[in-house]
Amino acid sequence: MSETTMNLTLRVWRQKNAQSAGTFVEYEAKNISVDMSFLEMLDVVNEELTARGEDPIAFDHDCREGICGMCSLTINGKAHGPLEATTTCQLHMRSFKNGDAITVEPWRAKPFPVIKDLVTDRSAFDRIIQVGGFVSVSTGGAPDGNALPIPKTDADAAMDAAQCIGCGACVAACKNASAMLFVAAKVGHLGLLPQGQTERDRRVLHMVAQMDEEGFGNCTNIGSCSAVCPKEIGQDFISRLNRDFLKASLRAK
Amino acid sequence: MTLESNVPSGPLAHKWSKYKQEQKLVNPANKRKFEVLIVGSGLAGASAAATLAELGYNVKCFCFQDSPRRAHSIAAQGGINAAKNYRNDGDSIYRLFYDTIKGGDFRAREGNVHRLAEVSVNIIDQCVAQGVPFAREYGGLLDNRSFGGAQVSRTFYARGQTGQQLLLGAYQALSRQIGLGTVKMYPRTEMLDLVLINGEAKGIVVRDLITGAISSHGGDAVVLATGGYGNVFYLSTNAQGCNVTATYRAYKKGAYFANPCYTQIHPTCIPVSGDHQSKLTLMSESLRNDGRVWVPKTAGDTRLPQDIPEGDRDYYLERKYPSYGNLAPRDIASRAAKEACDNGLGVGPGGRGVYLDFSDAIKRLGEDKIRERYGNLFEMYERITGENAYQRPMRIYPAVHYTMGGLWVDYNLMSNIPGLFVLGEANFSDHGANRLGASALMQGLADGYFVLPYTIANHFASTKQHKPSTDAAEFKEAEQEVEARIKKLLSINGKRTVNDFHRELGKLVWDKCGMARNDAGLKEALARIPALREEFWENVNVLGDAEALNPALERAGRVADFMEFAELLCLDALHRKESCGGHFREEYQTEDGEAQRNDEEFSYVAAWGYSGVGNAPVLNKEPLVYEEVHMTQRSYK
Ligand SMILES: Cc1cc2nc3c(=O)[nH]c(=O)nc-3n(C[C@H](O)[C@H](O)[C@H](O)COP(=O)(O)OP(=O)(O)OC[C@H]3O[C@@H](n4cnc5c(N)ncnc54)[C@H](O)[C@@H]3O)c2cc1C
Ligand code: FES
């Protein structure tokens, strides 16, 4: 054992499929380099499991750059683990130390049922976007990109919200499994731009209705969602969503 | 056989308008009767699916991730080119066209590239209308930055997340259509075969990645927008799932694979840190706007970078290419980094790295400005390396990044199999032997938003259509083959993991067919790949069930295809006895080490036809005819 490697004990949630009950299983992870990402550490464990003839641990991942939003682990009780503004795939083992015990679980939220081990079904997010998270312009016929100047501050604020990677950490971190931060990010992104104005009321009403239908809980303003958000999307967008929703509801009456 | 590109006649600048004037149309009421199967939901696939559905076609769209929003396009950082000339710096459609042709080392098809430059301007307009939050100036207008291989500023961007924002724009347009019921989306579904009926592409066989169920989908046309094959090298900047499976299986069904040896090695990636590594991370090319690349002048200089005085540093790109400097094109910048490291001047562990230094820019503009421009990249660098690049230069090294080769398509973006269209990185069409930065996003969206919607209508209107039943024998046969292959993979129970095989294959291809290639090395690779493939099929260990979520099994299928494809890649590299763009054959270089093309003999697209595993593929040639551009030795000096 050198300073650059460590041995760890993992408690990993194993669940054969959506129907079966899951349980924690303990694994040893040996000679883990500090330069590995958390997922590369799991790769090592999986290689060993395979060599022993045991089913490797299933987890979601793709880009491993913190942008696709596919990776999704609750590590020691925290969505995406201990480091702020960091997805699981960008969390490196230098954040841990030799001898640590690490608990690894899937997102825990009713609207995100477990498919297998650490893999969950997050299609509810797609359905929320499908009812209104867009600007209804078909291809062709768009005016020149510079026809409509947009103040830099608005464009920047819209970008702050638009950065959402749809990972679902906000839901996993919320004791009510609320999807308010996710919805607020899209409503905020489009609502801050002139292009998003014509459908502003409709968008917020439809998205919130779908969010409720999917079984996401209410927001009680605790802020756990922003605290785990890898893109640091702020609570102010939730306040904005509430204002937009209220105004749209009044106007709809 | 000589291939017909079907580029319209007439002056270059009028070809696309002429095509559009003369093309056949499908009347709105009839569009409903056509079913289009689109595999892929990246920029190319999502934009095509949304647009075709808006036009009235019935669309089914497939992707292997859990949501179309996660396609690999999401990871593109730097930007997207368009010939808007908003900067008034001399840009034009012709200049973007010419830069792209020249950047591609005169190995791309003129007609396609000009069309790409023409529609580039519409892409920006479309994306702005969708609410893509591009960077803006204080006056409220769109901002631009510069990218390699160009002397104008024509790259539009959204911080360091341009691909994300463009993909989310296309994803939202696609979601709107899914909500309207005009697109049926199949996430977590992998295409495992293409089905031909009477020689036409009429369907696909897919595996539901959650239940493992194999099923067929029939349609009037199949569109592959499945991205690039960079992961054949194991380590690359691509996402873990990127694969050659969809295009390779189409190749095995008769589609030609064009120029597989044109692969792009990106100069600015974080260097390899150890064997555990599963991927390499790109540091966007946009950093070369403000970062200066250098190595110490003498080998073995162990001083910290900040302690090495100016006089002891070699800013080799600025020295060798004074007019483009740090913005030299990718292939050239990558080779120059390799050369410096081969000469023992490399820095960091293993001596495989060069410095990308921001201290001058920080002095000139202040740290805040640099943070505003590249903050997220600096953070990513620190998360991965533990180093602060505001205080010491980044260490970078080239890594596999993009694949210019892909399925052969004509001007209609249709392959040699009627009814099979190929878009985005999956086709070979626009980048020749080297792609310029910020041009892949442009091409993906051009193909999907503005080209396919015209050419597919022309195809439907000019051929008699018949939609097959998936009960047809061709579908059943393909399903059985797919099932048998899965069963075989699960039954081997060997001693080595899929990853282990993939790593070995990748290392071999990188060593022998990477940044520099030669006759002996390629022949060695061609001798070793079949042996490795044989061992794979005898000794791989894939556990778990066919009828369940099984990531190891998914990966095994993809690696099995890489095992065959790698051979095609090396064979193409061996046959092309010249250097051009990303294909650098050590035997063919100029006196000062630049790529030496051989236009007499190799000015063609090499489109390979399948003839059985282990058998030599058949070479078909599409001659490259330059009507307007004069081919020259590329110079960035
Ligand atoms: C890190 C990085 C940064 C980049 N930055 C830039 C940049 O700044 N500017 C630029 O112009 N280009 C950039 N590129 C290149 C560019 O991002 C890609 O070339 C482009 O996005 C490819 O888009 P695509 O639609 O062709 O494919 P992808 O986005 O790769 O999408 C492929 C789709 O096909 C699906 N798929 C694949 N195989 C199957 C199968 N067998 N069955 C079912 N579905 C399948 C996937 O699920 C996915 O939906 C970058 C690339 C990388 C890796
Ligand atoms: S794998 Fe893409 S965000 Fe982590």
Are both B391 and B505 inside the same structural domain?
A: no
Domain endpoint, select from B401, B426, B457: B401
- Asked if residue B580 is part of any domain, the answer here is yes
Mutation test of the interface with chain B: which of A5, A32, A67, choosing the one with the most B Cβ atoms within 10 A? Answer: A67
Domain endpoint, select from B340, B371, B401: B401
Residue type, B309: P
- Residues within a 6 A CB radius of ligand 1: B 39-45, 62-65, 71-73, 75-80, 162-163, 190-191, 225-228, 237-238, 243, 245-246, 282, 401-402, 424-426, 438-441, 444
- Token code pair at residue B98: 């010419």
Range of the domain at B597: 473-602
Distance CA A221, CA B137 (A): 35
For B393-487, strand residue ranges (E) read: 394-403, 406-407, 420-422
Q: A39 and chain B: CB distance < 8 Å anywhere? A: yes
Are both B391 and B518 inside the same structural domain?
A: no
Note the helical H segments in B146-285: 162-180, 245-252
Phi-psi region of B300 (alpha: psi -120 to 50; beta: other; left: phi over 0): left
Residue B356 backbone dihedrals phi, psi, to 5 degrees = -120, 110
- Token code pair at residue B428: 């070979």
- In 10 A of CB A46, how many CB atoms? 22
Which residue from B5, B11, B45, B118 is spatially nearest to B426, judged by alpha carbons? B45
Does the distance separating the beta carbons of B67 and A125 come in below 8 Å?
yes
- Asked if residue B619 is part of any domain, the answer here is no
CATH assignment at residue B389: 3.90.700.10
- Asked if residue B211 is part of any domain, the answer here is no
Q: Residue A1: what pLDDT?
A: 42
Q: How many domains does chain B have?
A: 2
Q: Residue B613: what pLDDT?
A: 87
Q: Residue B1: what pLDDT?
A: 64
Residue B344 backbone dihedrals phi, psi, to 5 degrees = 85, 10
Distance CA B96, CA B229 (A): 26
Are both B390 and B497 inside the same structural domain?
A: no
Does the distance separating the beta carbons of B129 and A155 come in below 8 Å?
no
Written in H, E and C, the secondary structure of A156-170 is: HHHHHHHCCCCCCHH
Are both B293 and B387 inside the same structural domain?
A: yes
Q: How far apart are the first and last CA of chain B?
A: 39
CATH assignment at residue B568: 1.20.58.100
Domain endpoint, select from B401, B431, B446: B401
Q: Residue B318: what pLDDT?
A: 96
Distance CA B543, CA A56 (A): 8
Question: What sign results for the dihedral spanned by CA atoms B72, B76, B79, B81?
Answer: negative
Of chain B residues 456-495, which have a CB less than 8 A from chain A? none
A252 alpha carbon – ligand 1 mean position (Å): 41
Are both B276 and B360 inside the same structural domain?
A: yes
Cβ proximity of A134 and A200 under 8 Å: no
Q: Residue B350: what pLDDT?
A: 85
Residue reference for tokens 């479309």: B126
Q: Residue A221: what pLDDT?
A: 93
Q: Which atom from ligand 2 is nearest to the alpha carbon of A230? A: 3
- Token code pair at residue B392: 């010491």
Across the interface, of A43, A125, A134, the residue whose CB is closest to B173 is: A134
Question: What sign results for the dihedral spanned by CA atoms A79, A85, A88, A92?
Answer: negative
Cβ proximity of B193 and B216 under 8 Å: no
- Known catalytic membership, residue B585: no
Which residues of chain A lie closer than 8 angstroms to B185, CB-CB?
126
Are both B372 and B483 inside the same structural domain?
A: no
Tell me the ligand closest to B65's alpha carbon: 1
Distance CA B78, CA B91 (A): 19
Q: Which pTM value belongs to this model?
A: 0.97
DSSP state of A144: P
Does the distance separating the beta carbons of A148 and B173 come in below 8 Å?
no
B46/chain A closest Cα distance in angstroms:
12
- Asked if residue B408 is part of any domain, the answer here is no
B73 alpha carbon – ligand 1 mean position (Å): 4
Q: Residue B342: what pLDDT?
A: 92
| Reported ipTM exceeds the 0.95 cut | yes
- Token code pair at residue B6: 């079907």
Which residue from B554, B402, B544, B482 is spatially nearest to B73, judged by alpha carbons? B402
Residue type, B159: R
Low-confidence ranges of chain B (pLDDT < 50): none
- The SS3 assignment for B578 reads coil
Distance CA B397, CA B268 (A): 6
Which residues of chain B lie closer than 8 angstroms to A134, CB-CB?
130-131, 172-173, 175-176
Distance CA B608, CA B257 (A): 5
Distance CA B567, CA B618 (A): 13
Are both B381 and B277 inside the same structural domain?
A: yes
Cβ proximity of A178 and A216 under 8 Å: yes
From A134, which residue of chain B is nearest by alpha-carbon distance?
B172
- Asked if residue B467 is part of any domain, the answer here is no
DSSP per-residue string spanning B135-183: -B-TTSSBP-B--TT-SS--EE-STT-HHHHHHHHHHHHHHHHHHHTSE
Are both B369 and B482 inside the same structural domain?
A: no
What domains appear along chain A, each with residue ranges and CATH number?
Answer: 5-116 (3.10.20.30), 122-252 (1.10.1060.10)
Written in H, E and C, the secondary structure of B591-637 is: CCCCECCCHHHHCEEEEEECCCCCCCCEEEEEECCCCCCCCCCCCCC
Contacting residues for A200 by C-beta, under 8 A, at least 6 apart: A190, A191, A244, A248
Distance CA B562, CA B577 (A): 24
Contacting residues for B437 by C-beta, under 8 A, at least 6 apart: B78, B79, B147, B148, B149, B155, B285, B286, B330
Q: How far is C-alpha B555 from the chain's CA centre? A: 20
- Asked if residue B482 is part of any domain, the answer here is yes
Task: Write out the H or E segment, with its range, that includes residue A31.
Answer: strand A23-33
What's the pLDDT tens digit per position in B506-538?
999 999 999 999 999 999 999 999 999 999 999
CB-count burial class (<10 Å; 0-12, 13-18, 19+) for A218: exposed
Q: A129 and chain B: CB distance < 8 Å anywhere? A: yes
Catalytic pick from B330, B335, B585, B597?
A: B330
Averaged over successive runs of 10 residues, the pLDDT of chain A (253 residues) comes to: 84 97 97 96 97 97 97 98 97 96 98 98 98 98 96 97 98 98 98 98 98 97 97 98 98 88
